[in-house]
């Protein structure tokens, strides 16, 4: 996995565009979690200052550093109380899905902006930013839907797994991080490529770019 820092030497503009896209997309992803919890009656994210569009409130210091050093990192998780949500069965899953849903919406918005700007904006950097922004948000949406803790997709297991299979969740809670790192660093993204390609194509088709 290539470190984004390598881009700073090879292509400084690409590094800046990638950095802005990553930080903005991660921050909005976490904001969506906070908003989904708040709309369902849990005021904890609001009390902790997470119901804001200020990116600084949603970025984890270590996770942000690793994004630029190792090409892999994370945002600051949004704390919420499942018992305070209006739906006890589906509430936590809705909060979890809010993040990837936000990324899909951002990817669509970025693609629409690219379509509108293409041919009318002479600044190539703007078009490059929009393309990177679309790509980053597609990757974040797909990656976070993997049903392995601590990713958002793991919340869905509690709904779709039958009671007799709930021990799978306990296993993933214990070993999920090791499995996740193995998928990232050993698989080098090849495992996710068919899904990301499909989502990317769908977004581009919906916005008339394919």
Catalytic annotation, residues: 30
Would you say 126 and 184 are in contact if contact means Cβ atoms under 8 Å apart? no
Residue 45's CB is within 10 A of a number of other CB atoms, namely 23
- The secondary structure of residue 192, as a DSSP letter, is T
Backbone angles phi, psi at 78, to 5 degrees: -90, 120
Provide CB contacts within 8 A for 148, sequence distance 6+.
154, 172, 176, 179, 180, 183
If residue 10 lies in a helix (H) or strand (E), which one and from where to where? helix 4-10
Tokens of 93: 């899953």
Report the alpha-carbon distance of residue 140 to residue 63 in Å, rounded.
Answer: 14
HEC sequence for 37-82: HHHCCCCHHHHCCCCCCCHHHHECHHHHHHHHHHCCCCECCCCCCH
Euclidean distance between CA atoms 79 and 112, whole angstroms? 32
> Treating both helix axes as pointing N-terminal to C-terminal, what angle do 193-206 and 91-117 enclose, rounded to 10 degrees?
60
């Amino acid at each position: 996995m290539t470190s984004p820092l390598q881009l700073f030497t090879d292509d400084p503009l690409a590094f800046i565009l990638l950095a802005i896209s990553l930080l903005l997309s991660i921050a909005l992803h976490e904001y969506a979690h906070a908003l989904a919890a708040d709309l369902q009656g849990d005021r904890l994210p609001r009390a902790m200052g997470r119901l804001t569009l200020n990116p600084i409130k949603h970025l984890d210091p270590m996770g942000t550093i690793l994004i630029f050093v190792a090409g892999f990192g994370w945002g600051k998780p949004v704390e919420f109380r499942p018992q305070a949500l209006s739906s006890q069965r589906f509430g936590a899953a809705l909060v979890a899905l809010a993040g990837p849903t936000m990324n899909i919406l951002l990817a669509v918005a970025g693609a629409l902006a690219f379509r509108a700007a293409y041919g009318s904006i002479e600044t190539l950097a703007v078009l490059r930013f929009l393309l990177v922004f679309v790509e980053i948000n597609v990757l974040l949406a797909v990656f976070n839907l993997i049903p392995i803790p601590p990713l958002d997709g793991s919340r869905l297991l509690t709904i779709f797994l039958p009671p007799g299979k709930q021990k799978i969740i306990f296993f993933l809670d214990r070993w999920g991080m090791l499995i996740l790192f193995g998928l990232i660093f050993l698989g080098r993204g090849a495992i996710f490529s068919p899904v990301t390609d499909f989502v990317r194509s769908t977004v581009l088709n919906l916005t008339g770019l394919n």
